[in-house]
Homo-oligomer: A and B are copies of this chain.
Amino acid sequence: MNGAELLVRAAAASGVEYCFANPGTTEIPLVAALANEPVLKPVLSMFEGVCTGAADGYGRIAGKPAMTLTHLGPGFANGIANLHNARRAHTPIVNVIGDHASWHLNYDPPLASDIESLAGAVSGWVGTSRSVAGIGEDFQAAVEASYQNGGQVASLVLPMDLQALEAPRGQAYAALRAPKRRFDGDKVEAVARELSAGKRLVFIVGDEGLSEKGLEAAGRLAQVPGVRMFAETFPRLSYRGGGLPDLDRLPYFPEVAIEVLDQYDLVVCAGVPDPISYFGYEGIPSRLAGRERLLDLARVGDDISGALAALANMLHAPEFIPSEIGIELPPAHAPLSPQSIGRLLSAALPDNSIVSVEGGTCGYPFFTASVNAARHRVMTNTGGAIGQGIPAGFGAALAEPGTPVFCLQSDGSAQYTIQTLWSIAREQLPVVILIAANHRYAILQNELRRFGVEEMGAHARNLTELDRPRVDWKALAKGYGVAAESVRTNAELQRALSAAKDSKAPYLIEMEI
């Protein structure tokens, strides 16, 4: 048994099921070890951003870490953007980063770089193995770290020589699991007191608060006079539909969010950090509400749904009554619009499906419509590093074999990790990729207008338009082995969604809007 085999054994014992990998020469012993370990399944991607995005989606659904395996600093760096999103989503992930043999590193060979600095920028925990005997414990320390602080990214650097060295057989490694969530009853009482004192309270609910239990409690609280409930703008995982209450998302632009929050005396944070503007705009405060108006009900990683339920009970809030479900379909022969896409997708969602949303063009209208859909779960881009939606959908599909997954995806952001299509095709997963093809960075054109640019000259168009040439999405999908079609009307999309669901295989639908 060598160090790599020790690591793989520790990973399997820890409960790690998947290794999202794009290895190189310095990970060869690990590749060889993975070849002989039945529990830990290696999944190859053709770009590291796919591996880390998939680990994020997997971790959100499975509630436990996947492992990624990347090649030295540059290979890991390709995965940083999606680890940034995972960091903001509090997703447990364990990265194993191969490094040069310890005795080789001092000579500064071409592929050497400062891996610890790169890993540190997105990890809550960074370690480097120093002895072959300790590799299993190092890996388990990374898994344990990934469960801390409500879930975080842990990165272990593994020099190639240690992977290959003969190791003592090692002990039996323990199974590891997430620590039990708890809430603070004093905080619940403090919030109840403010309400009893006649204060008007607006809640922002995030993290585990957007589970079924949390939303049902939120639905009860919303009926208490003086209370308004919002969901955080970009949840890691939110249950939706199937009669769950309609929690609006806190508006994205700060001037709108501030206006909404200002109507209340206090802002109650339930599993979200202090509410902050996504970007800073001149003349608009960063804080959406002053510190003196903030009240903590529960923090990220706490039993937020428990705290919400306890508060609802304490206040004798009315019982939760599920709302009716059912979507009114848009006119069949009208051209697609973001609104009609939102409704058609909502109507098509099977019970218990997963939707990975990236991009504002269709994301917001889908959110509006989907409250009346069948019960489903939504993942969003928590950190703003684009190229997250399709990899996250890919990982989610692996976390729950057979569950239908839908990626509602803007065309611009889809390109950053386009290679995911190949991995989805290889694993033959029931993932439907809906590309909202407006052939431009619409968000940038909006921001240019906000900045005062009234006419887009040639250079401004060059930097914000994605036509000339238009990406041929059907051809791209074919290139990666994914069935695809292109639709322009509501009826076409409805039929395509039905065909895609029936195929129980990867399917890409380009929606021309």
Contacts and interface: CB of A to CB of B under 8 A. Distances in A.
Interface of A: 21, 23-26, 28-29, 31-32, 34-37, 42-44, 46-47, 49, 72-75, 77-78, 80-81, 84-85, 88, 100-101, 103-111, 113-114, 117-118, 120-122, 160-161, 164, 234, 273-274, 276-282, 286-287, 382-385, 387, 412, 415-416, 418-419, 422, 425-426, 443-444, 447-448, 450-451, 453, 456-460, 462-464, 466, 468-476, 478-481
Query: Which 7 A-B residue pairs are closest in the complex by CB-CB distance?
Result: A104-B280, A469-B481, A74-B385, A476-B479, A101-B280, A77-B80, A475-B479
Contact of A470 (B73, B468, B481): B481
Contacts of A32: 448, 451, 453, 460
Given A35-B459, A463-B21, A117 B121 contact: yes
Contacts of A287: 107
A44 B463 contact: yes
Interface centre among A37, A77, A447, A457 (most CB of B within 10 A): A77
A469 B422 contact: yes
Contacts of A111: 84, 278-279, 383-385
B84 A416 contact: no
Interface centre among A21, A26, A276 (most CB of B within 10 A): A276
B114 A444 contact: no
A448 to B, nearest CB: 6
Contacts of A469: 422, 425-426, 480-481
Nearest to A87: B113
A78 B416 contact: yes
A252 to B, nearest CB: 11
B34 A459 contact: yes
A278 to B, nearest CB: 6
B121 A120 contact: no
Given A121-B117, A479-B473, A385 B75 contact: yes
A447 B32 CA distance: 10
Nearest to A120: B117
Contact of A109 (B23, B277, B474): B277
Given A23-B463, A28-B447, 6 more contacts: A28-B450, A32-B451, A37-B459, A73-B84, A109-B279, A418-B418
Nearest to A476: B479
12 contacts: A32-B448, A35-B453, A74-B385, A77-B84, A78-B416, A107-B287, A109-B279, A111-B279, A113-B121, A113-B122, A117-B121, A475-B479
A118 B120 CA distance: 9
A466 B110 contact: no
A52 to B, nearest CB: 11
A78 B48 CA distance: 10
Nearest to A506: B469
A75 B280 CA distance: 18
Contact of A447 (B25, B279, B473): B25
Contacts of A274: 107
Nearest to A40: B459
B422 A109 contact: no
A444 B419 CA distance: 20
A160 B284 CA distance: 14
Contacts of A72: 384
Given A31-B464, A32-B453, A282-B164, A276 B108 contact: yes
A37 B160 CA distance: 49
A88 to B, nearest CB: 5
A469 B506 CA distance: 12
A411 B458 CA distance: 35
A282 B88 CA distance: 40
Contact of A118 (B21, B80, B110): B80
A497 to B, nearest CB: 22
B278 A416 contact: no
Nearest to A30: B463
Contact of A234 (B36, B42, B43, B110): B110
A472 B282 CA distance: 48
B479 A471 contact: yes
A412 B24 CA distance: 12
A190 B385 CA distance: 54
A461 to B, nearest CB: 9
Contacts of A419: 415-416, 418
Contacts of A113: 84, 121-122
Contacts of A74: 80-81, 84-85, 383-385
Contact of A444 (B24, B104, B444): B24
B77 A23 contact: no
A281 to B, nearest CB: 8
A26 B279 contact: yes
Contacts of A277: 104, 107, 109
